[in-house]
Amino acid sequence: MRFFGLADKIISVDDIAGWLQTAFIDAELESEEEPQGGAWNSLTLALEDGTPVVEIERYSQQDDSLNAPLQDTVRLLLDDKNPVRPQSAVKWLCQFMSRVKVLYEFRPREAINTAEGWQIFNEVWTNLRISLKGIVHLEHEGFTNLDGAQITWEYPDDESGDLKVAVLSEDGDHWIEYTLNLANQEHKRLFLAGKAPDIND
C-alpha cells in the first residue's frame, strides 16, 4: 500500500511515536533517522516484543529517491498488457504524479494480522493521511482521488459489498462520486468505462 503526498512535510519518528502514545498504543519503532530535521527513509513498526508489523519506506523529492518509484508507477498505469481502467482516471493519475513530493510505501509483515498489529498500523496510516494531502494505492483494490474515493479498479471478480467511487466528469473538471455495488456487473462495466450509473436506476 502506498501514499502519494503533495507536500514533503517532515514527519519524524517522534511524531509517529506521539500518535501512538496519544492513542495509548504500545509499539516499538526502529529507524535510522537523519540527524537534521528528523527525516528518515526506512522505519519499522513492531509489537512490544519486536515482532515486525509493517515496514515503511519513504521516498522524497528532496533526496532524489522519488523519481524511480514514480516512473515505475506511471509505467504500470500505461501498461497495455494489464490495462488500468478507467482511462480517464489513468490520465488524471499520470498528471497527478508530476505533483507528488513524497511517497510512503507500507509493506505489511505477518504481525499486521494480529489485533495489536492492526491497531498499530491503522493508527499510523490514518494519521499520515490526516497530516498530508495525497492519494492512496492499494494492491487488489486500486487508486483513490484526493477525497478518498476509489477511481481505478483492481478488485477480484468475486468481490462483493459497497464502495465509495468517483469518475471524472466529461470535461474532466470535477469528480462525480457515488456508491458502487462491487457485485453489480452493470455498475462495474460503467465504472470501467469512466461513467456513473443513472441515479434513477
CA distance linking residue 91 with residue 172, whole number of Å? 10
Q: What is the pLDDT of residue 36?
A: 60
Residue 201 lies in a domain: no
For residue 62, is it within any domain? yes
> How far apart (Å, rounded) are the C-alpha atoms in residues 14 and 190?
46
- Residue 76, pLDDT > 60, answer yes
Comparing CA positions, the residue from 71, 40, 34 lying closest to residue 57 is: 40
With a cut of 70, say whether residue 201 has pLDDT above it: no
- Reference 41, options 65, 20, 5, 19; nearest CA is 65
The pLDDT value recorded for residue 33 is: 66
Output the nine-digit C-alpha cell for 138: 492499494
Inside any domain, residue 197? no
Q: Looking at the domain assignment, is residue 116 inside a domain?
A: yes
Q: What is the pLDDT of residue 160?
A: 85
pTM for the model: 0.92
pLDDT digits (tens, 9 = 90+) for 97-140: 999 999 999 999 999 999 999 999 999 999 999 999 999 999 98
128 domain-assigned = yes
Total domain count, the chain: 1
- Can you tell me whether residue 85 is helix, strand or coil? coil
Position 77 in a domain: yes
Q: What mean pLDDT is reported for the chain? A: 92
- Do 50 and 28 meet the contact criterion of CB atoms below 8 Å apart? yes
pLDDT tens, 23-60? 999 999 998 766 566 779 999 999 999 999 999 999 99
Q: Mean pLDDT throughout 136-151? A: 95
Enumerate residues 6+ apart whose C-beta is below 8 A from 101: 5, 6, 7, 8, 60, 61, 66
In a domain, 125, yes or no: yes
> Residue 74: its pLDDT value, please?
95
39, 31 Cβ separation under 8 angstroms? no
In a domain, residue 200? The reply is no
In which domain, by residue range, is 177 found? Answer: 2-192
